[in-house]
Chain A
Amino acid sequence: MSTDYIATRNACKLCMPLGATLVFKGMEQTMPFLHGSQGCSTYIRRYMISHFREPVDIASSNFTEESAVFGGGDNVKLGLKNIIEQYKPKAIGIATTCLSETMGDDIVGHLREFKRDMPVDGPHLIHVSTPSYAASHAEGFTAAVKAVVEQLVDSGISQFYGGRVNIFPNMISPADLRYVKEIADGFTLPAVILPDYSETLDGPSWGEYALIPPGGTPLEDIPWMGQACASISFGRITNSRPEYTAAYSLQQRCGVESIYLGMPVGLRETDRLYEALAALSGRTGSPEQLKDRGRLVDAFVDGHKYVSGKRALIYGEEDLVVALASLYSEAGLIPVVCASGGESGHLRAEIEKVLMRPQPDLVVAQGADFADIDEIADTARPDIIIGNSKGYKLARRLGKPLIRLGFPVHDRMGAQRIMHCGYRGALELYDRIVNALMDAKQENSDIGYSYL
């Protein structure tokens, strides 16, 4: 703690259980379950509902004072029993909270006891340790993916299943997940994507009431992930600490090759994904996909003068920040501030790897909150702000456009459908940036140009 410690003001991060919940929402017929106070589930539900605009049911063990003193075992067991009775899930993803972790509640023991009395055809019970004081939601997400793989992948399966690739996509939007699937399909490479909330958190209107929304990574596919030809793991920051990733775990346990990539945002990072898929499948991408790449390059050319030298302030999860820095750097913008509430210690190093040219005055702020970002912005003088909705106040104060993406987007429609990944995602983000800058130019001019 430095001498000028001043508390976290308007945090640029969320808590670990949120990340874990998102993972469990992306598995077939799986109910997320938080072992803690009722508030943890309700707040996270509310937060995710406002972004995805979908029902988000999250169960709680609903701690009482007694359980805080005598242990939460009875509450977990009753909670699980009630969830099974009402929702008939195929799996329950149990994430701990700061409360149960601080108490030292023995969740593994509780689950062992519960399983003993449970019928053999009962749901899978997966648990992950996510004390919110340990790290942010990004680490909670990574930890949950790894927990799923470690607890459901059967390392004993010897049958070769090498035609498949595992994709650990990191926190991307439902629209991104659909597109990543499409990209893999383009190489006729069947992919198991974990998690896959493309349908569970962006579903159609229901004709019938669904206890748990359809969609999610098929549970029958997960045990076989140990036999895939490779695991592709997205996110340079996540991958800079490989021992925490699911891909690493599968490599260690089952010998599945791991391919660590950045999030496929922008031209070069998407190229890496295509190269990896081409190498794995022995095929080139489809001509249609190459056209997407061509259109992106064409757009870069068409728009380069509008964005050239424009100063971008980027914030969000560390992986996303690196990915966006890569995209905007290659398009000719200058990322002047890259900030995150995350504290991996690798942010600057990873950003420097993806920048098109060295940038001595780049401010990289780790463990930053929005009050820090606000202060940095005053000297950095950005032309455009890029990140989730929580930067709105900053953008409003500076009178600069805000490009809303990532999570959460609480003040616009269609957050589930924002594209970040692949050539098409890059094109979409690029168009939005160029148009926002054009719009700012138009709005701020006295002349009222109608032709730019």
Chain B
Amino acid sequence: MSEKMTILESRRQQIGMAGGSGAAVACERKSTAGSISQRACVFCGSRVVLYPIADALHVVHGPVGCAAYTWDIRGAVSSGPQLHRMSFSTDLREKDVIFGGAEKLYRALVKLIDVYKPAAAFVYSTCIVGLIGDDVDAVCRKVSAEKGIRVLPVHSEGFKGTKKDGYSAACEALGQLIGTGNTTGIAPVSINILGDFNLAGETWMIRKYYAEIGVPVVATMTGDGRIEDICRAHGAALNVVQCAGSMTKLAEMMRQKYGIPFIRVSYFGIEDMSDSLYKVAEHFKSPDIMNKARTLVRREVTTVMPQLKEFRKDLEGKKAAIYVGGAFKTFSLVRALRLLGMQTVLAGSQTGNRSDYEQLRNLCDPGTVIIDDANALELSGFVRDLGVDLFIGGVKERPIAYKLGVAFCDHNHERKEPLAGYLGMINFAREVHASAMSPVWNFVGRNSHEHRLYSHT
């Protein structure tokens, strides 16, 4: 690379550095026009959160693209119904845009409910729905009355905010379901799992751990989710929230409305996974649960650590860049990488907030670049300038890494490998190792030219 990357003036405040006394990383802004943001839109945020609810009908109201691009691309699996993997669209046409699409939506819903007999339906509004003036709420109410199932509007018009606003819209829809079910028979010690999406079966792993320590799960939101469970989620004694960016709002709402406390956890990496179990045990002040948790952690850690040591031998000292959707995941990843002897030199997210980034600055080694809503060019520039050996991100980040000759670990919703829990840590280490230690990097261009250290001011 002969020239330094261009960072847009309007983007500079959203890039900071760990250590020292620099200004806080600016965040929670709309993406700048012409900055090729890795974010999607409001609709994407809603779709991500609700998608794993497997017995619901998910209807995208709009032209076909939004539904087509999100058809069965995620790794969220179900132990039963597979309805969430279908892509339903009202596929609006020119005449619908002119005369309104409400009638089409109504007919679509009625017919789809007859054919697929879902437990509930979510109707996602896309960009143009607000503009053409469809009264989606009214259609949902009407269909709901006629068909006797909950039909919930999700106000996810793409331009009305960021992906985070989509999370909120999804939480609002969930909020309408919660509180409507029968809570008899729910044990006093019980939890809801929030913010785990059962990618590659991760929710199942987590549930198993909770079962082992004697904590029953009422509802999982939304991994392997079911409408009936969600409706009775208000009967649980505690909300355990992962993916805080998407689900804190719901947990907060449930705290206010039903007095259910919540704790924030993460299931990625040995430390965070173990902490999650301990936190739940502490919350219930149960020596029995704590003892079981300690036994579980001891057993799992004893199994996992020797294997990790083997991977660490090769990975020690390598540099990693992390760019994922939620900031909370980056904390876990920084710690998990440390366990493998690796240093994080860039950490960023699409949707982190101020306190997330402050925490990240404290957690990371001094000099680590902290970045909010990065664009493709910035990521490429930093990967090159910081001498990154491994990139952790999603499909959109993968070619950036590969083209520059850098190893890659997919930690996004499309992945098909479970990375949560103890087994997940082994999978993570194996994947990182497999990519970072591949012989192919010997042949790529970047090893034939030197890198300059990026100096950020």
Interface residues of chain A, those whose CB is within 8 Å of chain B, are 1, 4-11, 13-15, 17-18, 33, 36-47, 49-50, 53-65, 67-68, 75-76, 78-83, 85-87, 97-99, 102-103, 131-134, 136, 203, 205-209, 211, 341, 390, 410
A54 and B159 within 8 A (CB): no
Give 13 CB contacts A-B under 8 Å.
A8-B67, A15-B63, A37-B159, A39-B41, A39-B158, A42-B37, A42-B39, A42-B40, A63-B127, A98-B127, A102-B128, A132-B64, A133-B92
Q: Of B30, B69, B71, B126, which is within 8 A of A64 by CB?
A: B30
Task: Judge if B456 is at the interface, Cβ distance under 8 Å.
Answer: no
B 419-437 contacts with A by CB, 8 A: none
Interface residues of chain B, those whose CB is within 8 Å of chain A, are 1-2, 6, 8, 10, 30-44, 59, 62-71, 73, 86-94, 96-97, 104, 107-108, 111-112, 115, 126-128, 130-132, 158-162, 376-377, 380-381, 384, 395-396, 398-400, 402-405, 443-446, 448-449
Q: How far is the CB of B75 from chain A (nearest CB, A)?
A: 13
Q: Of B36, B88, B115, B128, which is within 8 A of A58 by CB?
A: B36
Q: For the complex, what is the distance from the CA of A75 to the CA of B96, rounded to whole Å?
A: 27
B8 and A86 within 8 A (CB): yes
Other CB < 8 Å A-B pairs besides A40-B65, A62-B34, A76-B33, 16 of them?
A14-B69, A39-B40, A39-B44, A44-B69, A49-B396, A68-B130, A79-B33, A82-B34, A99-B127, A99-B131, A102-B127, A132-B63, A132-B65, A133-B96, A203-B403, A209-B381
Q: For the complex, what is the distance from the CA of A33 to the CA of B33, rounded to whole Å?
A: 10
Q: How far is the CB of A259 from chain B (nearest CB, A)?
A: 32
- Which residue of A is nearest B115, CB measured? A6
B97 and A10 within 8 A (CB): no
B446 and A207 within 8 A (CB): yes
B403 and A54 within 8 A (CB): yes
The answer to whether residues A55 and B376 also contact, given A8-B89, A15-B68, A133-B63 and a CB cut-off of 8 A, is: yes
Q: How far is the CB of B159 from chain A (nearest CB, A)?
A: 4
Residues of chain B contacted by A38 (CB below 8 angstroms): 31, 37, 39-41, 158, 162
The answer to whether residues A14 and B65 also contact, given A64-B30, A133-B93, A133-B96 and a CB cut-off of 8 A, is: yes
Residues of chain A contacted by B111 (CB below 8 angstroms): 4-7
Q: For the complex, what is the distance from the CA of A410 to the CA of B42, rounded to whole Å?
A: 25
Residues of chain A contacted by B90 (CB below 8 angstroms): 7-8
B44 and A7 within 8 A (CB): no
Residues of chain A contacted by B40 (CB below 8 angstroms): 38-39, 42-43
B2 and A208 within 8 A (CB): yes
The answer to whether residues A133 and B404 also contact, given A6-B115, A11-B64, A207-B445 and a CB cut-off of 8 A, is: no
Q: How far is the CB of B166 from chain A (nearest CB, A)?
A: 9
Residues of chain B contacted by A99 (CB below 8 angstroms): 127-128, 131, 158-159
Q: For the complex, what is the distance from the CA of A33 to the CA of B36, rounded to whole Å?
A: 10
- Which residue of A is nearest B161, CB measured? A65
A42 and B41 within 8 A (CB): yes
Q: How far is the CB of B397 from chain A (nearest CB, A)?
A: 9
Q: For the complex, what is the distance from the CA of A8 to the CA of B449, rounded to whole Å?
A: 51
Q: How far is the CB of B426 from chain A (nearest CB, A)?
A: 25
A5 and B62 within 8 A (CB): no
Residues of chain B contacted by A103 (CB below 8 angstroms): 131
Q: Of A7, A59, A136, A207, which is within 8 A of B112 by CB?
A: A7
- Which residue of A is nearest B130, CB measured? A68
Residues of chain A contacted by B128 (CB below 8 angstroms): 98-99, 102, 133
Residues of chain B contacted by A98 (CB below 8 angstroms): 62-63, 65, 92, 97, 126-128
B33 and A82 within 8 A (CB): yes
A18 and B127 within 8 A (CB): no
B91 and A53 within 8 A (CB): no
The answer to whether residues A86 and B377 also contact, given A36-B127, A42-B44, A59-B34 and a CB cut-off of 8 A, is: yes
A7 and B444 within 8 A (CB): no
The answer to whether residues A11 and B97 also contact, given A1-B104, A6-B112 and a CB cut-off of 8 A, is: no
Q: How far is the CB of B434 from chain A (nearest CB, A)?
A: 16
B403 and A40 within 8 A (CB): no
Q: How far is the CB of A116 from chain B (nearest CB, A)?
A: 18
The 9 closest A-B pairs by CB, nearest first: A207-B445, A39-B41, A15-B65, A82-B34, A79-B34, A37-B158, A79-B33, A7-B108, A8-B91
Residues of chain B contacted by A53 (CB below 8 angstroms): 398-399, 402
Residues of chain B contacted by A61 (CB below 8 angstroms): 33-34
Q: How far is the CB of A62 from chain B (nearest CB, A)?
A: 4
In this complex, which of A5, A50, A62 has the most chain B Cβ atoms within 10 angstroms of its Cβ? A62
B67 and A11 within 8 A (CB): yes
Q: For the complex, what is the distance from the CA of A133 to the CA of B67, rounded to whole Å?
A: 13
In this complex, which of A58, A85, A133, A390 has the most chain B Cβ atoms within 10 angstroms of its Cβ? A133
The answer to whether residues A18 and B65 also contact, given A37-B127, A83-B34 and a CB cut-off of 8 A, is: yes
Q: Of A49, A65, A75, A205, which is within 8 A of B444 by CB?
A: A205
Q: How far is the CB of A200 from chain B (nearest CB, A)?
A: 12
Q: How far is the CB of B8 from chain A (nearest CB, A)?
A: 5
Q: Of A18, A41, A87, which is within 8 A of B377 by CB?
A: A87
- Which residue of A is nearest B132, CB measured? A102
Residues of chain B contacted by A43 (CB below 8 angstroms): 40, 44, 65-66, 69-70
Q: For the complex, what is the distance from the CA of A10 to the CA of B65, rounded to whole Å?
A: 11
Q: How far is the CB of B418 from chain A (nearest CB, A)?
A: 19
Residues of chain A contacted by B162 (CB below 8 angstroms): 38
The answer to whether residues A78 and B403 also contact, given A8-B90, A86-B377 and a CB cut-off of 8 A, is: no
The answer to whether residues A82 and B449 also contact, given A15-B64, A99-B127, A99-B128 and a CB cut-off of 8 A, is: no
Residues of chain B contacted by A207 (CB below 8 angstroms): 444-446, 448-449
- Which residue of A is nearest B373, CB measured? A38
- Which residue of B is nearest A410, CB measured? B73
Q: For the complex, what is the distance from the CA of A136 to the CA of B89, rounded to whole Å?
A: 14
- Which residue of A is nearest B107, CB measured? A5
A82 and B32 within 8 A (CB): yes
Residues of chain B contacted by A42 (CB below 8 angstroms): 37-41, 44, 396
Q: For the complex, what is the distance from the CA of A209 to the CA of B2, rounded to whole Å?
A: 9
Residues of chain A contacted by B86 (CB below 8 angstroms): 9-10
Q: For the complex, what is the distance from the CA of A177 to the CA of B244, rounded to whole Å?
A: 47
Residues of chain B contacted by A211 (CB below 8 angstroms): 377
Residues of chain B contacted by A136 (CB below 8 angstroms): 64
Q: How far is the CB of A127 from chain B (nearest CB, A)?
A: 15
Residues of chain A contacted by B88 (CB below 8 angstroms): 7-9
Q: For the complex, what is the distance from the CA of A224 to the CA of B43, rounded to whole Å?
A: 43
Q: Of B8, B10, B35, B97, which is within 8 A of A102 by CB?
A: B97
Q: For the complex, what is the distance from the CA of A6 to the CA of B111, rounded to whole Å?
A: 6
A13 and B68 within 8 A (CB): yes
Q: Of B37, B108, B384, which is within 8 A of A209 by CB?
A: B384
Residues of chain A contacted by B59 (CB below 8 angstroms): 7
Q: For the complex, what is the distance from the CA of A5 to the CA of B107, rounded to whole Å?
A: 7
The answer to whether residues A206 and B377 also contact, given A5-B111, A6-B112, A82-B33 and a CB cut-off of 8 A, is: no
Q: How far is the CB of B424 from chain A (nearest CB, A)?
A: 23
Residues of chain B contacted by A97 (CB below 8 angstroms): 127
Q: For the complex, what is the distance from the CA of A206 to the CA of B93, rounded to whole Å?
A: 42
- Which residue of B is nearest A52, CB measured? B399
Residues of chain B contacted by A44 (CB below 8 angstroms): 69
Q: How far is the CB of B284 from chain A (nearest CB, A)?
A: 41
B377 and A60 within 8 A (CB): no
B68 and A209 within 8 A (CB): no
Q: How far is the CB of B256 from chain A (nearest CB, A)?
A: 27
The answer to whether residues A60 and B37 also contact, given A15-B63, A82-B32, A98-B127 and a CB cut-off of 8 A, is: yes
- Which residue of B is nearest A203, CB measured? B403
Residues of chain A contacted by B377 (CB below 8 angstroms): 57, 86-87, 211
B399 and A56 within 8 A (CB): yes
A50 and B395 within 8 A (CB): yes
B65 and A78 within 8 A (CB): no
Q: For the complex, what is the distance from the CA of A294 to the CA of B111, rounded to whole Å?
A: 54
- Which residue of B is nearest A4, CB measured? B111
Residues of chain A contacted by B87 (CB below 8 angstroms): 9-11
Q: How far is the CB of A203 from chain B (nearest CB, A)?
A: 8
